[in-house]
A and B are shown apart, each in its own frame.
Chain A
Amino acid sequence: EPEVTQTPSHQVTQMGQEVILRCVPISNHLYFYWYRQILGQKVEFLVSFYNNEISEKSEIFDDQFSVERPDGSNFTLKIRSTKLEDSAMYFCASSEQGPRNTEAFFGQGTRLTVV
């Protein structure tokens, strides 16, 4: 069964360093998303991406964050200069159509720990 895959599963980084979280969405999906979940808190929307551009972003998704689809399969989230408060589980998701028409499928997440 097709699935969204994320790498790495766990990343530890020093404050101020850049990190890139990688995702391979389901192959025929056109919409891509990043979410984060701080330990014990709700799943928060970061950004949605369609047709090679950002569709929507939240207040959390500031200038430190960027997304890219560098080739036909990968979808990445870059955090330029990590802060302690960026420590969270980051989930990538994809959907075949837009959110009004279909469900999103989520990856297993990347646990980011900033020290």
Chain B
Amino acid sequence: SQELEQSPQSLIVQEGKNLTINCTSSKTLYGLYWYKQKYGEGLIFLMMLQKGGEEKSHEKITAKLDEKKQQSSLHITASQPSHAGIYLCGADSGNQFYFGTGTSLTVIP
């Protein structure tokens, strides 16, 4: 079965703090995607990682994919209230994308 495990399930941080969200697959992935979902809204694409060891950054968010392409981390530096939401990692299985259970992030001003 295709499973992506995310940890932690939820995270509450003070504004300005750094944080990391992890995503683990039992299988080697072809690619790994990170999305953000605001409560009750659609998924917003953040980053796609395809190569082992790849790292990408956008503004204060950095995502890495390990060499084995089974684990990814999403790191937010100096978190802001605008970073709040649910972060989903996703992968593909040829004809579809599938997603992890999500990590709910709350940033306290």
Contact = CB atoms under 8 A, between A and B. Distances in A.
Interface residues of B, number: 24
A58 B88 CA distance: 20
A100 B94 contact: yes
Contacts of B95: 48, 50, 55-56, 98-99
A14 B34 CA distance: 36
B95 to A, nearest CB: 4
Contacts, number: 60
Interface string B88-103: 1000111111111110
Interface string A27-53: 000000100000000110100101000
B88 to A, nearest CB: 7
Interface string B45-58: 10010000000000
Interface residues of A, number: 25
Contacts of B92: 99-100
Contacts of B35: 106
Given A42-B102, A43-B88, A99 B43 contact: no
Interface of B: 30-31, 33, 35, 37, 40-45, 48, 88, 92-102
Interface of A: 4, 33, 42-43, 45, 48, 50, 55-56, 58, 89, 91, 93, 98-100, 102-109, 111
